[in-house]
Structure 1
């Protein structure tokens, strides 16, 4: 600090220590401000965590009613995937089909001797009809591996090149009887082998289809068949197309995802509600404990969620009127009392859900909210969830309030510190003035004593 600080040099009093002790007393209220900051920061963090989990729960809840979840699908199966595999690409006629794989599509293959060129030149590749495709530059003295690399690196060659025991082996990148090609020029010797490309041939329920590739997309509407191996003689392999309906595995997965998201909210919220405060907290960690202990707003939220899950929905026909009817239950319906049941976490009886989907998928869809024009569970739960989740929800409002409180506390702390600095400066100034006055008094006394001694003499 600027100015003279004599710190008891005249009075013999440790004024610096006195000032420190006085300031310690003056700064006692500062601890409450910093504790309030720590507690508010912790509360805000916990609320933000709950908000994040509520957002995940909203997405999971929306999926229950999503049209994508309830799109009709069909199973397509091959009885022998070593002969062919099948993929559904759209609506297909249900039923069984007999399939024979008579011939696989193959690519044309040609083998040539290799002669290292004595001069720079080109290796010319032509199409099956003789029209030019591309020319690959070949340097004088190039070896076979170099030529192979040049062909493979040329994207327009349409060929795979391989060095097989010193011979140049070329295979078309396409299959079928139109995959032929011709080569000539630098490095190309005599042709030693040619294997023509073949079309795929497959018979489905007595009708034969011939295609350029082993992937057949137009023989059966809505089904792609990929040929893998030939069948023997008159043997056939079964291809089965199931009846259209919702994807039960996908629906079960969406219900499980909702339960997981819901239980994440319950776990986090219950932990906050039961985290007790520390009486007479003295450390930062202790001050941050119990900031949401017994919070009435969060308790009400969980209670409303739980009620919505177990309440029968108006307008829905039996036996599917609530989530418990399809195997989604809370602790209220649990046969075994445990902490999860007490906390209200959800469990799923998957067998019950699948049985409901088998018996009446449309009613399950309506219950979950996937039927247009009818409000189901997803809509009912969303109306409660929206009170707490999102930018207009109560949780976000409390987070914003905490932000405001933290701003106010920061300002309060800054102002408090400024007052303490001013107070300390005043005390130092007062004690310095006292020391200066004592010094002046002592000097005057010494002068007077000296004068009296002189007069006496």
Structure 2
């Protein structure tokens, strides 16, 4: 029931007054309110389309931003031709290079073993009238330290091992091993906890002890405990089998003696994904623009963004994507066409990924120069230019932002006008409703008067009619 309707309107007069009132209001609403509501609906659809397009452009800008970063082109991968000889890990920014590495010797742990004993609890034997002790040195050069343990009668082989381990020794572990030798299988073994010459154990004579008889195992006869490798005829020794100070950004882990070719190359997978992502994001934008500006033959209406700056956006983006840039003097990569890009008739782009992979592998520096430019030559990069222009279109304060603000202001203005029109119609039909109520009441009175007069005339006629004889 419309504003101002009364459920009993027309009962008194017998006329369809409420229906007439509703029809009149319906005509006014179609003429005065519907155009405003339609315009508001179209603008709201336009705002939604602007937001969708803006998000797609920002996605595209994100790819352009990543392609404009120096760090994107610093990613590296490393391979070893013989991983049983050495493996490697590489950090971003390491130099692209290939080297043949000969692993001549692995770093090893210093170790000593005693003579054999019949059991773990065999007693140590001492010379008479001596103050027996067990001494060993750990380390090399100025950092070498001496550990001296006082011994007493009745100490066993196992107890000596425990005493060595319980001392504040700098990096030695003592253990009893069963060698399986008949009769005397048990030996006391000292091992350095870490490899390399800086962890060498040295054992001299055991004063007063007659049955230990230590002999050096790894490192015996002056054999080096350090790793040794040869690169291009240059010999390197290191304390560890993990070496990270020969090639900046590359850490080697030696596995076995042998020869391996180490190759550090550009890591192209991430870069490839960014280029592919940029093209896909561009296609998303172009398809979205085409859908929003296209004329709809069924409805006879243009797209919601047809009469906005978006109309020419796809042509501007095409110009950007086909930009010619000279990042370096080689001229091998001057546009995305050199990376396998092809334009289609509908404005979309296809990408020959095989051509892209080949250029990334063979012309990495030229690709880098194309996207980043050259500051020394004051040559701008493609990615920077694209990122900046997309910011001017899609970011805060950009072209789309201005269009959205304008549309929002128009929506607010139309909503105010719509509210005013509704109030005006409410007032008008409140007056009409009262007038129709008065009309209904008047018509009811007239009907009642007519009925009364008719009954009076009927009575009078009966009185005046001649009587039958």
Same fold (TM over 0.5): yes
| Structure 2 match to 1:199 | 194
Rg bigger for which structure? 2
Note the 1:235-314 alignment, pairs <5 A.
235-238=257-260, 240-242=262-264, 246-274=266-294, 276=296, 278-279=298-299, 290-293=303-306, 295=307, 297-313=309-325
Change (3 A) 1:220 1:445: closer
Paired residues of 2:228 and 2:237 also in contact (CA < 8 A): yes
| Structure 2 match to 1:414 | 419
| Structure 1 match to 2:218 | none
| Structure 2 match to 1:58 | 61
Structure 2, gaps ≥5 residues long: 110-169, 176-187, 197-226, 465-469
Return the alpha-carbon distance in structure 2 between the equivalents of residues 413 and 221 of structure 1: 71
Return the TM-score normalized by structure 2: 0.61
| Structure 1 match to 2:34 | 31
| Structure 2 match to 1:390 | 395
Change (3 A) 1:98 1:25: same
**Residues 258-291 of structure 1 deviation map (CA, whole Å, 9 limit, x = unaligned):** 21221221121122233615437xxxxxx8x832
In structure 1, the residue corresponding to 2:348 is in which secondary structure?
coil
User: What's the CA shift for 1:240?
Assistant: 1.0
**Residues 169-215 of structure 1 deviation map (CA, whole Å, 9 limit, x = unaligned):** xxxxxxxx938599xxxxxxxxxx9996753564433655444xx75
CA RMSD of aligned residues (A): 4.2
Change (3 A) 1:222 1:291: closer
Return the alpha-carbon distance in structure 2 between the equivalents of residues 40 and 378 of structure 1: 34
| Structure 2 match to 1:365 | 368
Paired positions, count: 352
Paired residues of 1:83 and 1:101 also in contact (CA < 8 A): no
User: What's the CA shift for 1:432?
Assistant: 0.7
In structure 1, the residue corresponding to 2:260 is in which secondary structure?
strand
| Structure 1 match to 2:223 | none
2:410 maps to which of 401, 405, 410? 405
Return the alpha-carbon distance in structure 2 between the equivalents of residues 434 and 364 of structure 1: 87
User: What's the CA shift for 1:13?
Assistant: 0.9
Structure 1, gaps ≥5 residues long: 106-176, 183-192, 281-286, 332-340
Return the TM-score normalized by structure 1: 0.63
Note the 1:421-432 alignment, pairs <5 A.
421-432=426-437
User: What's the CA shift for 1:314?
Assistant: 7.2
Return the alpha-carbon distance in structure 1 between the equivalents of residues 308 and 173 of structure 2: 79
In structure 2, the residue corresponding to 1:292 is in which secondary structure?
coil
Return the alpha-carbon distance in structure 2 between the equivalents of residues 81 and 399 of structure 1: 59
Return the alpha-carbon distance in structure 1 between the equivalents of residues 60 and 262 of structure 2: 38
Return the alpha-carbon distance in structure 2 between the equivalents of residues 399 and 60 of structure 1: 24
User: What's the CA shift for 1:51?
Assistant: 0.9
User: What's the CA shift for 1:343?
Assistant: 1.7
Return the alpha-carbon distance in structure 1 between the equivalents of residues 288 and 277 of structure 2: 17
In structure 1, the residue corresponding to 2:101 is in which secondary structure?
strand
1:98 maps to which of 89, 97, 102? 102
Paired residues of 2:4 and 2:433 also in contact (CA < 8 A): no
Paired residues of 2:339 and 2:355 also in contact (CA < 8 A): yes
User: What's the CA shift for 1:84?
Assistant: 4.8
Note the 1:203-242 alignment, pairs <5 A.
203-205=228-230, 209-211=238-240, 217=244, 221-226=248-253, 231=256, 235-238=257-260, 240-242=262-264
**Residues 7-38 of structure 1 deviation map (CA, whole Å, 9 limit, x = unaligned):** 22221112222212222212113332222222
